[in-house]
Amino acid sequence: MIAPTDIYRGTAGHAVLEVTQVAGESAVTSAFATSPLKLLTPRTRGRSVWAFASSFGGGLVAGDQTRLDLRLGASARCFVGTQASTKIYRNPSCRPCGHVTQATLEAGSFLVFAPDPAQPFAHSTYSQRQEFHLGPDAGLVLVDWFCSGRVARGERWAFQRFQSRNEVWSIQKRTSRGVPELVPHLDPPPLREEIVSSALAETAPIAPLPAGEGSGEGEATDFDAVQRIEKRAAQTIRRGRPLFLDSLLLDSAEGSLESRHRTGRFNCFALLLVLGAPVRRIAAQILESVSGQPVPRGGTVVFSASPAQDGGVFRVAGNRVEEVARELHRHLLPVAELLGDDPFARKW
């Protein structure tokens, strides 16, 4: 179980969920969140655990930085979604606004991580980073998608900046007890926030600085802190082998987001990653299904699929969120069998 001292209970916007196998069933053994995040667990025990992340106000305002730490014990199964789309509210001052997810999946565990799409409002700025560390024979289904904003209000692709990065790593380094190590959350030094944020954006999760390192008073100087962050990040990256990396950046400073070579006529884009031993057959089915379908010229929904290491990647672009959701649901139906129920049936 994750100790309270390891996950910084006092940090605003921080949620933790731990799922382990108890008496042959998956069960929530630790769950809590601090404002503005909320964590709802309507199914805490069974063939799989279900959890839904939410926030007070339904989204993120300027300056919000939220984080979800997730750990699945050996052979545990879990579905994580959201109550609704994540609204990214307008941010004229361009203050940093973002979210980090870090998940550790131990041997034989299975995670379906499928939040609703992000909905960036006009003049908003948002950045998210999602990391998944997979143990032997662990499986991951990841849905990462976003839409153009509030189209009915004339806010189509009107945000300032949107960035999303997904990383999947294999677990190699283990603790003395044989359990994959979970790297705790780091609160960056306040005076050099922009440098620390840059270091975090380019590296893997980082452990906090030990007390007494840095200045003679027991607190690291800003320069020392940044150097130690980069050093620890490099050490963390060597913990495992990279399995998948996907990075997206849409910045209005580089030109119109509506141009035909960027978003064009589409209003929603989605990534579906199916990876690992539990879903290897499902990934093969998706690849076979998509490869046998022609790409319709001028269609309202277009899709593609390509093989990934021990799985497959499925991408969808559509004119409407509902059309993309239906396409995703169609390919996710076999996943419901692994969860014991279909969490998407009453939603999409």
CA angle 19, 22, 27 (to 5 degrees): 35
Structure tokens at 141: 């289904």
Please answer whether residues 116 and 54 qualify as being in contact, where contact means their C-beta atoms are separated by less than 8 angstroms. no
- Residue ranges with strand state E in 208-267: 242-251
What's the confidence (pLDDT) of residue 252? 95
| Alpha helices (H) in the chain, listed in sequence order | 193-202, 222-237, 280-291, 321-339
Please answer whether residues 42 and 75 qualify as being in contact, where contact means their C-beta atoms are separated by less than 8 angstroms. no
Helix 222-237 and helix 193-202, axial crossing angle in degrees, nearest 10 = 10
What's the confidence (pLDDT) of residue 131? 97
Q: What is the pLDDT along the chain (348 residues), one digit of tens a residue?
A: 444 434 445 578 999 999 999 999 999 999 999 989 999 999 999 999 999 999 888 889 988 999 999 999 999 999 999 999 999 999 888 888 999 999 999 999 999 999 999 999 999 999 999 999 999 999 999 999 999 999 999 999 999 999 999 999 998 755 545 554 444 333 333 333 333 333 333 333 333 333 333 333 333 333 444 344 344 444 443 457 899 999 999 999 999 999 988 999 999 999 999 999 999 999 999 999 998 888 778 889 999 999 998 999 999 999 999 999 999 999 999 999 999 999 888 776
What's the confidence (pLDDT) of residue 177? 52
What's the confidence (pLDDT) of residue 347? 72
DSSP annotation of 207 = P
What's the confidence (pLDDT) of residue 121? 96
What's the confidence (pLDDT) of residue 222? 37
What's the confidence (pLDDT) of residue 302? 93
Among 186, 163, 330, smallest CA distance to 247 is for 163
- Residue ranges with strand state E in the chain: 14-22, 25-33, 37-43, 45-46, 49-55, 59-60, 65-72, 77-82, 86-88, 98-105, 110-113, 118-120, 125-134, 139-147, 161-170, 242-251, 268-276, 301-308, 311-318
Query: What is the largest distance, in Å, between two alpha-carbon atoms of the chain?
Result: 66
